A and B are shown apart, each in its own frame.
Chain A
Amino acid sequence: MVLKAFFPTCCTSADSGLLVGRWVPEQNSAVVLAVVHFPFIPIQVKELLAQVQQASQVGLAVVGTWCHRQQESEESLGHFLEGLGTIFSHNPWLQLCRERGSKFWSCKATHHQGPGIAGVSREDHVILIFYDQRKVLLSYLHPPTILPDGQARDATASSEGLAAIFDTVSRSEVLFCKDQFDEGPVRLSHWQSEGVEASIFMELAKQASGPVCLLVTCLLSLVSAASACRLWKLWPLPFIASKLSTCEQLHHRLEHLTLVFSTQKAQSPAQLMRKANMLVSMLLDVALGLTLLSWLHSNNRIGQLADALIPMADHVAEELQHLLQWLMGAPAGLKMNRALDQVLGRFFLYHIHLWISYIHLMSPFIERILWHVGLSACLGLTVALSILSDILALLTFHIYCFYVYGARLYCLKICGLSSLWRLFRGKKWNVLRQRVDSCSYDLDQLFIGTLLFTILVFLLPTTALYYLVFTLLRLLVVTVQGLIHLLVDLINSLPLYSLGLRLCRPYRLADKPSALQ
C-alpha cells in the first residue's frame, strides 16, 4: 500500500522541527498531530510524549522531521535533521520539506531494513493529505472510545478505516492543551498554539450549570413529590386526569425538564444531542407561549373572545336542533318509523335544551376562566394548545353524548339482529366452542323470535341513520382535536438543535471524511 501522511493545515507555515504523531500500520499511514520546534532536549520530548500517551492511551511517537527553510542553500539544517533520525528512531521515518513562500513540497519516507544492513533503505511513494484539525476535533460522532463494560481501551480494536484517523486526533486532545504562551520545556505547534480556543459564554455557562442544575432538580423533585401524594389517587380524579390532554402534556414537560436538568453528565454524544434538542424545543415553546400571551392580553381580546363564545355555542345548539327536526321529518326522502323517530328526536332535543341552560348558567364566569387559562400560556404554547383542545372537548360534550347513545342503540340492535337471524335459520351460537351450531327450537320460540326479528329489521333504517349522523359529527370534532394534538407533538419532538447544527456547523455532525481537495 502507498504510504499516506496526514498533515494538519495549521502546521503548513510552522518553523522547522520534529513531527509528532501516530503511526497506523493497518492503513500504512502516519497521522501528524503537532510539530516540536528547536531548541529542545530529546529527553524532555520523550518525557512529554510518555505523559501524553499515559493520559490519552494513544501511541504517540516522533515520526519524522519537518523542514521549512528560507532558500535552497541551508544544507546544514538538512544534515542536522537527518542526524535526528538516529536519536528518535522510527520505522518508517518521514521527511517533509518545504521552501518558504513556494508551493513545492518534498516528501520522503525511508524504511530501515534492520541492523547490519547500514545505509540501505527502501523508499516508498508518499501521499500527503491535509486535514483541518479544528473541524476534526470538534465533530461529535466519533466511534465511542469508552467501552460500556469498562475494559481495556484498545486503541485500534474498534476503529476501521479512516475513522481511526478521526479517533486518533480526537483522543489526543490533551496534547493540544498547551499553547505557545505557556512556559514549558518543549515548544509545540498545532491548531491551538496561537491560544486555546474557548468562548466566555460557554465557560460561564459551564460554571453556572452545576448549581443551576442542582437547584432545578430540587424544585422538580418537590413538584413530583407533591403530585405523587395520595390526595390525587382518590377517584374520580385519576379518571379525569387521564382524559384531559393538559395533564398529559404537563407530565411530559416535567419528564423533559427532569432529564435536561439532571446532574449527571451525558454519557454519549447521542444523549447530549437529545438533551440539547429538548432544551431548545422547550425554550421555543415558552417563547411562542409568551408571544401568544402578550397577543391575547392586548386590546381586550379575552373579553371579545368571551363575548363571542356564548353566541357561538348557541348557534351550534340551534343548528343541531334543525338537524334533529330534519331527521324527524323525512330526511333525504327516506321514510322513517314515526314513533321511534319521535321518541329519539324528542330525547335528543331535551338534551340540547339542558345543554343550552347549562351554558347560560356558566356565562358570567367565562371571562374570568378564560383570563386565568390564558395565563397558563406562559408555561408554553403546547400547554395552551392542550387546554384549547380540552375546552373544545368540554364544549362539544353533548355531541359526544349523542354519539354514545346512538352507538349503543345501534350496537344493541345489531347484536339482537344477528342472534335472531341465526334463530331464523335454525342455528345457535355455542359460547363454549366459539362457533355456530345447529339447534332445534320449539314452535313458540321460533314464532316470537321471528316476530322480534321482523320488528328489528324494520326499525333498522331509523337507528342506522341516527347513528350515522352522530358518528360523522363526532368524527369532525375528533379530527379538529387530532390536528391540535399533531401540532403539540410536532413542537414536542422536532429536533431543532440538530437541524440548526446541520445548517450552521455541519462539520460537527461528521463521522467520516467528506471531501478531498
Chain B
Amino acid sequence: MEDERIFSDICGGRLALQRRYYSSFCREFCVSCPRLSLRSLTSVTCTVWLVAYGLFTLCENSTILSAAIFITVLGLLGYLHFVKIDQETLLIIDSLGIQMTSSYASGKENTTFIEMDKVKDIVINEAIYMQKVIYYLCILLKDPREPQKISQVVPVFQSAKPRLDCLIEVYKSCQEVLAHQKATTTRS
C-alpha cells in the first residue's frame, strides 16, 4: 500500500512524504526535498563569473577566467555529491531493525542501520535551532547491557527538516510497529 502527501519544511519549502506499508511489521517512509532550482544555480554562476571578469579587467590575466569556470564546475559537482540531499528514507522492520538512507543529488546513497535490540523508543523532541524552536523525530538507543539508560539519540530526517504534522504521521506508524514488536517479544 502506497500513498503520497504534501507537507512543508521548517522554512516553508515543499516536501513530499511517501508512505509504503509492506505489511503490519514492515513500513517505509520517504521524504523528498525540493530539487536544485535553476534560479539559484544561475544567480550563483553569474555572481562568480562577474567577480572573475572584474578581476580580469584589473589584472589582464586570462587564467582567472578559466580558473573561474573550473571552480564553478567543480563547486557544482562537489555540492551535488556531498551537500544536496534529494531524498531521505526511513525503513522500519519489526524484530530486525531500522534503516535510514540519504540519497544525494549525484546518486550517492548513505545508509545507516540500527539493530532492533539497540532501539529503546522513537520520540518527537524539541530543539532550539538558530532563532527557531523546531520539532524533530529521533530514535533513542539503549545499551543492551544497561536497558534502563539511554546511550545515544539519533535524529532522523536531518536535512529535510519536516514540520510537526509530517512528523506526527511518521511517529504514529512507527509506534504501531514498535508496539507490535513489544507485544510479540513478551509473548514469545
Provide the residues of chain A in CB contact with B26, threshold 8 Å: 127
Nearest to A25 among chain B residues (CB) is B188
Q: Is the pair B96, A129 in contact by a Cβ cutoff of 8 Å? A: yes
Q: Tell me if A333 counts as interface (CB < 8 A to partner B).
A: no
Provide the residues of chain A in CB contact with B91, threshold 8 Å: 516
Minimum C-beta distance from B50 to chain A (A): 39
Give the complex CA separation of A129 and B91 in angstroms.
14
Q: Tell me if A512 counts as interface (CB < 8 A to partner B).
A: yes
Q: Tell me if A42 counts as interface (CB < 8 A to partner B).
A: no
Q: Which of A115-145 contact B (CB under 8 A)?
A: 125, 127, 129
Q: Tell me if A160 counts as interface (CB < 8 A to partner B).
A: yes
Q: Is the pair B188, A161 in contact by a Cβ cutoff of 8 Å? A: no
Q: Is the pair B113, A513 in contact by a Cβ cutoff of 8 Å? A: yes
Give the complex CA separation of A351 and B94 in angstroms.
82
Q: Which of A1-46 contact B (CB under 8 A)?
A: 1-2, 4, 28
Q: Tell me if B49 counts as interface (CB < 8 A to partner A).
A: no
Q: Tell me if B47 counts as interface (CB < 8 A to partner A).
A: no
Q: Tell me if B23 counts as interface (CB < 8 A to partner A).
A: yes
Given contacts A1-B95, A2-B25, A28-B95, contact A515 B111 (CB under 8 A): yes
Provide the residues of chain A in CB contact with B188, threshold 8 Å: 1, 28
Provide the residues of chain A in CB contact with B8, threshold 8 Å: none
Q: Is the pair A1, B184 in contact by a Cβ cutoff of 8 Å? A: yes
Q: Tell me if B144 counts as interface (CB < 8 A to partner A).
A: yes
Q: Tell me if B99 counts as interface (CB < 8 A to partner A).
A: yes
Provide the residues of chain B in CB contact with A28, threshold 8 Å: 95, 188
Partner of A516, one of B23, B113, B117, B184: B113
Q: Is the pair A515, B115 in contact by a Cβ cutoff of 8 Å? A: no
Q: Tell me if A514 counts as interface (CB < 8 A to partner B).
A: yes
Q: Tell me if B31 counts as interface (CB < 8 A to partner A).
A: no
Q: Is the pair B99, A2 in contact by a Cβ cutoff of 8 Å? A: no
Q: Is the pair A2, B115 in contact by a Cβ cutoff of 8 Å? A: no
Give the complex CA separation of A4 and B93 in angstroms.
11
Provide the residues of chain A in CB contact with B99, threshold 8 Å: 515-516
Q: Tell me if B42 counts as interface (CB < 8 A to partner A).
A: no
Q: Is the pair A516, B95 in contact by a Cβ cutoff of 8 Å? A: no
Q: Is the pair A161, B96 in contact by a Cβ cutoff of 8 Å? A: no
Minimum C-beta distance from A502 to chain B (A): 15
Minimum C-beta distance from B96 to chain A (A): 7
Q: Which of B130-188 contact A (CB under 8 A)?
A: 144, 181, 184-185, 188
Q: Is the pair B95, A4 in contact by a Cβ cutoff of 8 Å? A: yes
Partner of A2, one of B97, B118, B144, B184: B184
Q: Tell me if A162 counts as interface (CB < 8 A to partner B).
A: yes
Give the complex CA separation of A1 and B184 in angstroms.
5
Give the complex CA separation of A161 and B184 in angstroms.
17
Give the complex CA separation of A160 and B118 in angstroms.
11
Partner of A162, one of B94, B101, B115, B184: B115
13 additional contacts (CB under 8 A) given A2-B25, A162-B115, A515-B113: A2-B94, A2-B184, A4-B96, A28-B188, A125-B23, A125-B25, A160-B144, A161-B144, A513-B113, A515-B111, A516-B91, A516-B97, A516-B99
Q: Which residues of B contact A (CB under 8 A)?
A: 23, 25-26, 91, 93-97, 99, 101, 111, 113, 115, 117-118, 144, 181, 184-185, 188
